[in-house]
Amino acid sequence: MSDLTQLTLVQARQGLAAKRFSAAELTAAFLEAIAASNKSLNAYVLPTPDYALAQ
């Protein structure tokens, strides 16, 4: 899957279970999407990428 941010929750769960990608890779994909779009959207008040990746 090239864009993990486009997966449904079911697809993400299945991909994680099948080890097609890791939780860290899935999180990183969303963090990259947030970084790319938040300047114009201003949807996230306080992004915490380090905290998200540590989980």
Residues 6+ apart with CB under 8 A from 24: 53
Q: For residues 25, 46, 9 and 29, what is the CA-based torsion angle, rounded to 10 degrees?
A: -30
In the predicted model, residues of the chain with pLDDT beneath 70 are 1
Predicted confidence at residue 1, as pLDDT, reads: 52
Residue 11 is predicted with a pLDDT of 98
Among 13, 10, 47, smallest CA distance to 30 is for 47
The whole-number pLDDT of residue 13 equals: 98
pLDDT at position 51, please? 95
What is the count of structural domains for the chain?
A: 1
Supply the range of the domain harboring residue 34.
Answer: 4-54
